């Protein structure tokens, strides 16, 4: 590749200044949030991710594929040669349509499956629909998550606690269980954990617990399915600039300084997760299973 065709994201530069640093303006949103209302708008790789064919012929299902890390993974997978099905809430249809077009523009099949993964029956339908539309399944990315900041356990309702576990833990269990019979040797499962798994913030009591569950789930399942030739890993992001944050995931004062306490003094952009999700989905990571890979910018508690 000549220097004229290398995207800016891949040229040598200072990671401290590669993307916007805080302070950011106040920007409260209602859940689930809209990436186009964020300031600055996140980079999911729409213009910056360039593929090299590392996932040619693969078929992937990604939950939470309309925005954030899921959107970045969907774009990257398509540009690496995979057909991609994404799941998202019906209220996120506009953002999801953008992702579907980006997958199609990469020359790959795109499947949109809206629905609420907090319901077991839908999780089963999601997997069956993705398998039918894609003609199989090679990569499962359990990425969708619920995060709501509460300063005190006294403010944390049973309804919120239950929904956080339903979306972050139960759905991962239901979807993985439904997908496993369709996975052949060489298939991969990638779960999105968090730095909160092992370094929890005081205001994310329920969310941090679910992410710790995901780490244990990943390591246990990896041992179960290794003899089937299926690998299971997790990615543990630090503070990433996604719609999850201004729509209740963090208090507004923390949104304004989001990522400032990391060694790199800024939040990560979703596209900066893409290479890790591609690596774990590709045959290049054939000896990696049961691992939790951090991508945190040198995170301290946030």
Q: Assign residue 102 the CATH number of its domain.
A: 3.40.50.720
Residue 300 has pLDDT above 80, yes or no: no
Q: If you average pLDDT over residues 268-278, what whole number do you get?
A: 97
Closest alpha carbon to 69 in 203, 255, 268, 298? 268
Rg (CA), the chain: 18
Give me the active site residues, please: 207
Counting the structural domains of the chain, the total is: 1
pLDDT at 67: 95
Has residue 41 been placed in a domain?
no
What whole-number percentage of the chain has pLDDT above 90?
Answer: 90
**Residue 32: pLDDT band with limits 50, 70, 90:** confident
Is the alpha carbon torsion for 131, 135, 138, 141 positive or negative?
A: negative
Q: Range of 247's domain?
A: 51-295
Residue 33 is predicted with a pLDDT of 83
Tokens of 1: 């590749």
Q: Is residue 44 part of a domain?
A: no
Average pLDDT over residues 79-87: 98
Tokens of 174: 């239901």
pLDDT of residue 302: 39
Q: What are phi and psi of 5, to 5 degrees?
A: -105, 0
Task: List pLDDT tens digits, range 169-227.
Answer: 999 999 999 999 999 999 999 999 999 999 999 999 999 999 999 999 999 999 999 99
Residue 124 counted as domain residue:
yes
At 102-157, the pLDDT tens digits run: 999 999 999 999 999 999 999 999 999 999 999 999 999 999 999 999 999 999 99
Please give the model's pTM, rounded to 2 decimal places. Answer: 0.94
Reported as a pLDDT band with limits 50, 70 and 90, residue 2 is: very low
| pLDDT score of 5 | 64
Q: How many residues does this entry show for the chain?
A: 302
Predicted local distance difference test score (pLDDT) of residue 251: 86
The answer to whether residue 123 sits within a structural domain is yes
Mean pLDDT of the chain: 94
Q: Say what the pLDDT of residue 3 is.
A: 39
Per the domain annotation, does 42 fall within a domain? no
Q: Is residue 138 part of a domain?
A: yes
Is 302 within a domain?
A: no
Please check whether residue 181 lies inside any domain of the structure. Answer: yes
Provide the pLDDT confidence category of residue 10 given band limits of 50, 70 and 90: confident
Closest to 187 (Cα-Cα) out of 140, 130, 132: 140
């Amino acid at each position: 590749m000549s220097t004229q065709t290398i995207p800016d994201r891949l040229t040598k530069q200072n990671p401290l200044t590669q993307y916007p640093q805080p302070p950011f303006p106040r920007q409260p949103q209602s859940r689930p949030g809209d990436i186009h209302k964020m300031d600055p708008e996140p980079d999911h790789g729409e213009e910056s991710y360039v593929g090299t064919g590392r996932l040619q012929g693969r078929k992937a299902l990604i939950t939470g594929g309309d925005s954030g890390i899921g959107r970045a993974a969907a774009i990257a997978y398509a540009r690496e040669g995979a057909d991609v099905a994404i799941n998202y809430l019906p209220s996120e249809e506009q953002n999801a349509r953008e992702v579907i077009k980006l997958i199609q523009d990469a020359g790959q099949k795109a499947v949109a499956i809206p629905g609420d993964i907090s319901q077991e029956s839908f999780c089963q339908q999601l997997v069956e629909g993705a398998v039918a539309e894609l003609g199989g399944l090679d990569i499962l990315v359990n990425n969708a998550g619920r995060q709501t900041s509460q300063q005190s356990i006294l403010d944390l309702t049973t309804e919120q606690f239950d929904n956080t576990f339903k979306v972050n833990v139960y759905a991962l269990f239901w979807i993985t269980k439904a997908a496993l019979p369709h996975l052949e040797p060489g298939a991969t499962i990638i779960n999105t954990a968090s730095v909160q798994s092992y370094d929890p913030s005081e205001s994310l009591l329920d969310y941090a617990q679910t992410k710790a569950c995901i780490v244990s789930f990943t390591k246990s399942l990896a041992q179960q399915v290794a003899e089937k030739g299926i690998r299971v890993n997790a990615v543990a992001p630090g503070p990433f600039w996604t719609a999850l944050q201004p729509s209740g995931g963090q208090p507004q004062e923390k949104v304004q300084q989001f990522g400032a306490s990391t060694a790199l003094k800024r939040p990560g952009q979703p596209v900066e997760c893409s290479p890790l999700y591609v690596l774990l989905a590709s045959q290049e990571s054939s000896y990696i299973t049961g691992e939790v890979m951090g991508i945190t910018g040198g995170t301290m508690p946030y």
